[in-house]
A and B are shown apart, each in its own frame.
Chain A
Amino acid sequence: MTSLLQNLIDGLGQGSIYALLALGVAVIFGVMHLLNFAHGELITVSGYAAVAAFGSNLSWWLVAPLIIVVSIVTSLVIERVAFSRVRGASEFTQLLTSFGIHIIVSAVLIMSVGASVKTFAEPPWIFDRIDVGPLSLEKFDLLVIAVTAVTLAATTWLLQRTTFGLSLRAAAADFDTARLMGVDSDRVIRGAFALSGALAGVAGIFWLMRAGNTDPSAGIDPMLKGVLAALIGGLGSLRGAVLGGLALGVAEVLLRSQLPSSVAVLTDAVVFGLIAFLFIFRPQGLITVQHAERV
């Protein structure tokens, strides 16, 4: 029981990062119907920004906000340079564009800074533990969970209480009608990319803290986790994306600790298998999105 609770909290820590990534994927999907396979590039680029910042002897306290800024700017640049040019094109073209962005970003990085892995120091407290009764919890997990909760609350406030949030929700439900109401499509799409970038930035801080390194293809893993979690939750559903992220994190930690050690190394494979299984029975994911009536 204790170990289950312990695993659950560890899993929520891991899952919180996935949830933030998935939410960013879901926000873009909601507005543009684009499954953004370039989402992980935000973390790749942030990683190199972190390497540069540590090279100038900045501390994590300064690097963390820097990562968020770099992630937002990268997201906006990607929208401007690539996605805005294929806005009217088919969803398939946009999907291919997102793959193209990933290939170009890693190619540019390999040519400019090289293919080698760049390391930086994790924060000194990363493996510190706090004992709560019988539980021994990682400081890191508790921090991730707390920051994620605050980020989700802020995102909820933004979506529910601001004019931008209302515009975004209306555009996600029915883009043409939202435009008829005066919603500026450029602004709402740029806003969606900025929000997605900010969420990836928060996730990126923790991802990079834990990894302690980056390389030109560092974005693939976070992208896969984010896209998968969004799919598990039901694409387009923001609540579903968060739920999917948490579920993915908990499943990973539980499997890794409960499976016999010879199988535990295959955790990822088992998780992917379970997800395939889920989609056989619930192809729409955990939460079904009700779209506005369409003609």
Chain B
Amino acid sequence: MRLPEPVEDVVVNLLRLANTKLPTDIGWALEAAAGWETGEIAGIQLGAIMENAKKAEHLGLPMCQDTGIPVFYVRGRFDSSIAKDIAKGVERATESIPLRPNAVDPLTRVNSGNNLGPGMPIIHYMPTDDEFTEISVLPKGAGSENMTRLAMLNPSDGIEGVKRFVVGAVLDAGGRPCPPTIVGVGIGGTSDRCVEMAKEALLAPIDSENPDPDLARLEEELFMDLNSSGLGPMGLGGSTTSFAVKIRKAYCHTASLPVAVNIGCWATRRATARITESGVEYAQGAVL
């Protein structure tokens, strides 16, 4: 397939879109939250968030200084050269937007300066027979990423055990992941796959419906539990703790019940480009 635009350019556009423009679904959720919050401190937090998002979009600057580690998802048709092109896009975007250089050696803590380095950028591949190449990016800041939790529950812990773990993970995180959050949950798979699913769940717009009615009900129950907790915006108290709970599921070993939580901050930044021979279409989220 001949691509109408170099992948490198598309990646720069994706990183700019994700970092400077809050996804519309989150904008609506913020406005709704500002309408029902009654506490003064919670109101100040939501007001500051909305004002900041408007300024970032207007100025074309990153809404948050933690522009994160960009996590890429590539789906459809592509060849092995795409990794190199994505890396070039990350390097150029770091300079031109600019993004904060965040990638460091984990032990020496030396910063590469360009968001690249061994193992970077992180790219997940999902080849399909579709007539498009789809590239999504989820820039993941450390405040929320550091709150990631995995539990290898016993099968006998059941759905109640899953709920207890998810609610505990979010409430124990407190204000650190910048609530109101989006809570990504993986259930099943192996330990590695479970954590991946929890993060993939954050890529879906919050108003996208879970096609599995049982999971949709579980999302709703967890949503009610979290938002009746009183944790509130920035953990300073209030009635908006999470904008949504998004769950992905896979079969697992008969002796296992893996559950993972990956939290997205209020600034859950996402952008998707679907590339076909006739052009590139941009969106801010995708259901993988």
A and B pair up: no
Q: Please list the residues of chain B having a beta carbon within 8 angstroms of any beta carbon in chain A.
A: none
Binding site for B on A (CB under 8 A): none
